[in-house]
Amino acid sequence: METSSLVIAVDAMGGDYAPDSVIAGVKLAEQQHPDIRFLIYGDEPKVRPFIEKYRLDEGRYDFIHTPDYVASDEKPSVAVRSGRKSSLWLAIESVKKGTASAVVSSGNTGALMAFSKLILGTMPGIHRPAIVTILPTRKSECVVLDLGANAECTARNLVEFAIMGEAYCRAVLKREKPTIGLLNIGSEDIKGRDEIRQAAQILKTSPLADEFKGFVESDDIATGAVDVFVTDGFTGNIALKAIEGTARLMASLLKDVAARSLLSKLGFLLALPSLKQLKKRMDPGRYNGAMLVGLKGISIKSHGGADAFGFANALNVAVDTVRHDLVGGIAKQLDGLKFLEEETEK
């Protein structure tokens, strides 16, 4: 394999439709990025038929046979003990060894986080990495984290997420001074759990005080009320899936309305160019691919139900994060953690 190429490690066994959707996604990415190569990890008897089906360029990938893989319902603690020869573990390990620049998996989120943290390690001062992604808003786009890595969080964890989300937003969306909000059940200071209110108090007296806009609610994501939405992984994952479900519902309702009468069909045809643009903007697959931010290497989580288009977009995220050196850029922004260490010592 040519070491000068940008190399992406792929867990071919992770996801609801793996390995079919994974290999199909690799094929799409192969066409979009003629200068990148792939390390594909998986059970050869299961994966090879799809490599042949989609006719991957033999000069663009190396295949590593790994009969073991992590099941989608396997507990992370069990996976850590038994999954060190799995496709997921070895794909992440290739980033640690420097044979790949990033890893992408649609597999078990808890295992991906646990393996990535163990193998790649966290940045100085970060206790828990978070899953971060970009979502469309009425204004433009926003950053949301955590999306499922940490079901329960302390006030310090939430402040760490705010710092990392702000740094990510600067690097990816090029916002000079991103605004930050804590996702809550109301905007009033008395609302929410203790850890959310404590995190708000810390941020109000932090170097991010000017950027922190207080509590925001879930419907504020659609309006783009702030640039960075911060929450625990339990709430964030529910919010993300509600947004994805709403997008699919709207598409389904539009089809139903268009089919009701000849006049509806005619109106639908006239509006088709605009509706195609709307569909493209709302397609969850377009925003698939979430970075595990706070690690010393690049690990990308693809949605478990991603199709080929969605998985290819996750690979695109991996390529972009490598080329923009997001790990290095975020690390430079983490000087803001110094105030948090002082706050913790009080």
pLDDT at 344 over 70: no
Counting DSSP H helices and E strands in the chain, the numbers are 13, 11
| Edge-to-edge strands, sheet with 130-136 | 61-65, 36-42, 6-11, 102-105, 298-301, 290-293, 130-136, 141-145, 228-230, 180-183, 212-216
DSSP string computed for 60-124 = GEEEEE--B---TT--HHHHHHH-TTBHHHHHHHHHHHTS-SEEEE-S-HHHHHHHHHHHH-BPT
What are phi and psi for residue 65, nearest 5 degrees? Answer: -70, 120
The per-residue pLDDT for range 126-174, each reduced to its tens digit, is 888 999 988 888 888 999 999 888 888 999 999 999 989 998 888 788 8
- Taken in order of first residue, the domains within the chain and their CATH numbers are 1-123+294-323 (3.40.718.10), 127-289 (3.40.718.10)
Looking up tokens 């709307």, which residue turns up? 278
Contact between 69 and 14 under an 8 Å Cβ cutoff? The reply is: yes
Percent of the chain topping pLDDT 90: 58
Measured on CA atoms in the order 232, 233, 237, 240, is the torsion positive or negative? positive
pLDDT at 97 over 80: yes
Q: In the structure, what pLDDT confidence band is assigned to residue 327 with cuts at 50, 70 and 90?
A: confident
Which tokens sit at 42? 């998986």
Rounded average pLDDT over 260-268: 67
- Between 140 and 5, whose confidence is greater? 140
Beta-bridge partner residues of 62: 39
Which tokens sit at 57? 């360029």
Q: Residues for the chain: how many in total?
A: 346
pLDDT at 314 over 80: yes
The per-residue pLDDT for range 38-51, each reduced to its tens digit, is 999 999 999 999 99
Contact between 155 and 199 under an 8 Å Cβ cutoff? The reply is: yes
- Distance separating alpha carbons of residues 276 and 254, to the nearest angstrom: 12
- Reference 83, options 44, 103, 111; nearest CA is 111
Lowest mean pLDDT among 29-38, 163-172, 267-276: 267-276
- Distance separating alpha carbons of residues 220 and 268, to the nearest angstrom: 30
- Distance separating alpha carbons of residues 199 and 218, to the nearest angstrom: 18
pLDDT at 253 over 80: no
70's CB contacts (< 8 A; 6+ apart) are 13, 14, 79, 83, 86, 87, 88, 89, 107, 108, 111
- Reference 300, options 49, 11, 5; nearest CA is 11
- Distance separating alpha carbons of residues 190 and 139, to the nearest angstrom: 29
